[in-house]
């Protein structure tokens, strides 16, 4: 994949090889987040799932994770 300038870390790194979700945030992640920051998010996501005992099939759990991902990757709503 071509390198991109990541909107999270500012480094020029490889782009994700795929769009992680078929929605607007998935496209935003694919276009602006490097593979290293995505990997960091996946580790954080797993910690959240384990800590809160989330069922990722549950709509409220998915909404919670999307909100956390938005804050983690794009700093939406202020500091993490």
Structural domain that includes position 46: 3-74
Closest alpha carbon to 30 in 68, 2, 11: 2
Q: So what's the pLDDT on residue 80?
A: 39
DSSP 16: P
Q: So what's the pLDDT on residue 54?
A: 97
Q: So what's the pLDDT on residue 76?
A: 62
Q: What is the pLDDT of residues 47-58, one digit of tens each?
A: 999 999 999 999
CATH number of residue 16's parent domain: 1.10.3880.10
Ranges of residues in the chain with a pLDDT under 70 are: 1, 76-80
Q: So what's the pLDDT on residue 2?
A: 76
Does some domain include residue 56? yes
In the chain, how many domains are there?
1
Does some domain include residue 80? no
CA 75 to chain centre: 11
Query: What is this structure's pTM?
Result: 0.87
Does some domain include residue 52? yes
Q: How many CB atoms lie within 10 A of CB 37?
A: 20
Does some domain include residue 79? no
In the block, tokens 């939406």 appear at 76
Does some domain include residue 18? yes
């Amino acid at each position: 994949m071509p390198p991109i300038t990541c909107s999270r870390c500012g480094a020029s790194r490889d782009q994700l090889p795929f769009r992680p979700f078929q929605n607007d945030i998935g496209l935003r992640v694919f276009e602006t987040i490097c593979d290293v920051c995505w990997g960091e998010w996946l580790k954080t996501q797993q910690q959240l799932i384990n800590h809160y005992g989330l069922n990722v099939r549950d709509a409220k759990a998915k909404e919670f994770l999307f909100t956390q991902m938005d804050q983690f990757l794009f700093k939406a709503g202020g500091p993490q």
